[in-house]
Structure 1
Amino acid sequence: MEDNPIVSVCMITYNHENFITKAIESVLEQKATFSFELVIVNDNSSDKTDAIIISIINTHPNGKLIKYHKQVENIGMMENFGFALNACAGKYIAICEGDDYWIDKNKLYNQVTFLEKNKDFYLVGYNAKYNKNGIETDSLVRKLSVEYMDFTTRHFIQKNPFVSSMVMFRNIGFKDVMSLFVNFSVGDWPLFTKLSLFGKSRFINKSVGYYRKHPNSVTNNNRLEYKAFKNELINRINHAKYWNDKLGSKFNKEVKEVIEYRSKILTTMAVRNFDMKTAIHYCKYVDLKTIKKTSSKLIIKTLKALSF
């Protein structure tokens, strides 16, 4: 394997024994006219993930493309992601998490071609379909009616429009990435926002792989458990505030919209889960004009009165 490949595929994994083979093989089957490596960082899985990876390295025809590291102890998703990014030597980095997989064998080739031709873009990503509990569906992760859409920092302040395992971006060097990640509970969104400071990002509305939703996936658990979902929504608010503060309050309007929208969801969920402290705190940011139901408006008014 060459010391400086054109592309490094960054794959973090933890207890993915049921998924890791498909993820790895989807990368090794890529048709490319350039050199690429698959960097796998295992966060000390307690299942058979390690044995499966080693077996693939030793038996797969393209196993030599894999650069594998297993952590001595579990360091957590964010630390592991930061470690993996710094292990990537390629000019470009693509992400494929250990429980997702690609189906388009020209994915890497097409993304490299795009970035080589468009120097003002720093990130390019595709859409994906959901694999729900092992069943491949036709449901797209991102719902768009256009062929493609370009994004700048302004958009990333408000939301993450990309599917992590379907992106490729320029390797800008990630030595200090943990100083960024320490402020957040997930790494992809702040990473993409940071990249947007260097250039534009393009989302191509074509599905090239599958994004898994299963009982152990981060997104699935966050949606099912109130506390985790609450923290996810708070993280989205904090994300907007962090970047706005860092960029000299250039995006006050966008941050206000994020706070109002997320606070409405937080307040509603908090009331349903009898978490009155959270409901009283976030109701302050809810605009009553956006509440349609009379009963809901009355509840928000009451909570606002209690917040003073």
Structure 2
Amino acid sequence: MFRISDRNTAESLKRELIMKNKTMVSVNCITYNHENYIAEALNSFIMQKTSFNYEILIHDDASTDRTAEIIRDYEQKYPDLIKPIYQKENLYSKDVDIDDLNTERATGKYIAVCEGDDYWLDPLKLQKQVDYMEGHPECTLCVHAAYIVNVIGRKIKPVRPSVGNKIFTIEEVIEGGGGLFATNTMMYPRYLDPNKPDFYKKAPVTDYPLVIYLALKGQVYYIDEYMAAYRKGVSGSWTNTEQSSLEKIIKHVDNTEKMLAHLNQYTNYQYDEAITNKNNINQFKIMIAQERFEALKEDRFKAIFKKLGKKEKTKILIKQYFPQSVRTYKKLRKKYRLMK
């Protein structure tokens, strides 16, 4: 006689089988001239221990070094897991959105982001994020703590926006900027990837407006665990090229203000105060970089200075009252780095 408990067990096994055959996560990996780093990134993807299937979507943007060759070696070893695109000409230089180009072929329910010079630290990273998102369908972005590392993987500083797990508000996301979360900690539902709004499309970089867009669509949840390493100082990276001089930083800030103006219109000025605060924070940083310390007397900048930690305040005051000592220190530091 067929019992109800048997029927329930059979249905449970059926659902489990469907789940195992379904791709749950698509890893979006964009790479260009990352021959010294791409293997570490790929190994960190492959080491993931999950109860579900996932795929690794790699887009090599016509690298001129051995990056593509290394990817091909991994593709041969893991043909069911690694799905690469090898471009013959660089599309980023032609203003093609290579992120969308890579994710439009995704089959996973969620997209996890990690560029070819970054890597993950925890083999349970994907599992932990999927577990949360599956249990909280209102969550449209799941992130976690990370370390910023240098080119050889040495830890520089943490990216830890909260001590303890936390749900971030839209205002906190806007004011936090692109550095609030490390890009390679992001996981979000794939259905939100197409048809991104104009404020995203017109942005100078995509990580900051993407976080804002996802925050507008639901809940942003932060897991207070270090599960990724975000690398800085890589030759040809966005940070090294677009943040290499004060002139380029000012240009980037101007473009960010334009993006935030589009965001303001898109949201019917619902977050105008947060956007104004973020613009003031960016202008404050430029004033300090230009050594225009008289700006600290303005009320809008006084409020920002008060919110800084002791370490940041001390640095600014040293720059203000001992400028020559700071310049000498920078020269010695640069000389020491060249000698290493």
TM-score bracket relative to the smaller structure: 0.7 to 0.9
Q: In structure 2, how many angstroms separate the alpha carbons of the residues matched to 1:231 and 1:209? A: 30
Where in structure 2 are the equivalents of 1:90-129 lying within 5 Å?
A: 90-129=108-147
For residues 209-267 of structure 1, the C-alpha deviation after alignment (integer angstroms, 9 at most, x for no partner) is 21111242322444432232223322332332221111101112112212222223234
Distance apart, 1:207 and its partner CA: 0.6
- Give the counterpart of 2:86 among 62, 70, 80: 70
Deviation at 1:6, TM superposition (A): 0.9
Shift of 1:181: 4.2
**Partner residue in 1 for 2:220:** 201
Q: Distance in 2 between matches of 1:72 and 1:153?
A: 40
> Which residue pairs with 1:251 in the alignment?
271
Residues 65 and 95 of structure 1: CA distance in aligned 2, closer, same or farther (over 3 Å): same
- Find out whether 1:80 has 2:107 as its counterpart: no
Kindly state the Cα deviation for residue 143 of structure 1 after the two structures are TM-superposed: 4.7
| 1:163 alignment partner in structure 2 | 182
SS of the equivalent of 1:97 reads coil
Offset at residue 139 of structure 1 (A): 2.5
**SS of the residue aligned with 1:64?**
coil
* Greater share of residues in helix: 2
Per-residue CA deviations over 1:115-157 (Å, capped at 9, x if unaligned) read 001111111111111221203226212353x212212322232
The change in CA–CA distance for 1:181 and 1:4 in structure 2 (over 3 A counts) is: farther
Asked if 1:6 corresponds to 2:24, the answer is: yes
- Post-superposition offset of 1:271: 6.6
Confirm or deny: 8 A CA contact 1:7 1:92 kept in the other structure: yes
Is the contact between residue 184 and residue 235 of structure 1 (CA under 8 Å) also seen in structure 2? Answer: yes
Query: In the alignment, which of 263, 277, 280 is matched to residue 260 of structure 1?
Result: 280
Corresponding position of 2:193: 174
1:173 deviates by 4.4
Runs (5+) with no aligned partner, structure 1: 273-282, 297-308
SS in 1 for 2:193: coil
Rounded to whole Å, the distance in 1 between the matches of 2:115 and 2:144 is 15
1:23-62 paired onto structure 2 within 5 Å: 23-59=41-77, 62=78
Q: What residue is the counterpart of 1:229 in the other structure? A: 249
CA drift at 1:4: 5.1
Matches of 1:3 and 1:12, distance apart in 2: 26
- 8 Å Cα contact 1:16-1:98 kept in structure 2: yes
Q: Is contact 1:223-1:229 (8 Å) kept?
A: yes
Assess, with a 3 A threshold, how the Cα gap between structure 1 residues 25 and 178 changes in structure 2: closer, same or farther: farther
Match of 2:335 in 1: none
- The separation in 2 between residues aligned to 1:73 and 1:213, in whole angstroms, is 25
TM (norm. structure 2) is 0.74
Q: In structure 2, what is the equivalent of residue 278 of structure 1?
A: none
Question: Structure 2 counterpart of 1:229, which letter?
Answer: I
Tell me how far apart the structure 1 counterparts of residues 230 and 169 of structure 2 sit (CA, whole Å): 24
Alignment of 1:126-141 (within 5 A): 126-137=144-155, 139-141=157-159
- Alpha-carbon shift at residue 270 of structure 1 (Å): 4.9
Aligned to 2:326: none
Q: Deviations over 1:60-79 (max 9, x none)?
A: xx342011112232111761
Distance in 2 (alpha carbons) for counterparts of 1:14 and 1:96: 13
Root mean square deviation, CA, Å: 2.6
Counterpart contact for 2:144–2:181, Cα < 8 Å: yes
Q: 1:83 to 1:287 in 2, by over 3 A?
A: farther
Q: Which has the larger radius of gyration?
A: 2
The 2-side partners of 1:120 and 1:178 are apart by 20
* Deviation larger for 166-175 or 213-222: 213-222
Does the CA contact (< 8 Å) of 1:10 and 1:39 recur in 2? yes
Corresponding residue pairs, total: 279
Residue in 2 aligned with 1:275? none
Contact 2:200 2:213 survives alignment (8 Å): no
Rounded to whole Å, the distance in 2 between the matches of 1:180 and 1:65 is 34
* Partner Cα distance (1:287, 1:67) in 2: 55
Q: Closer, same or farther in 2 for the Cα pair 1:118/1:143, shift >3 Å?
A: closer
Tell me the residue number matched to 1:288.
Answer: 298
Alignment-mate amino acid for residue 27 of structure 1: F
Moved more, 213-222 or 194-203: 213-222
Shift of 1:192: 1.7
Larger mean CA deviation between 121-130 and 108-117 belongs to 121-130
The answer on 1:190 being equivalent to 2:209 is yes
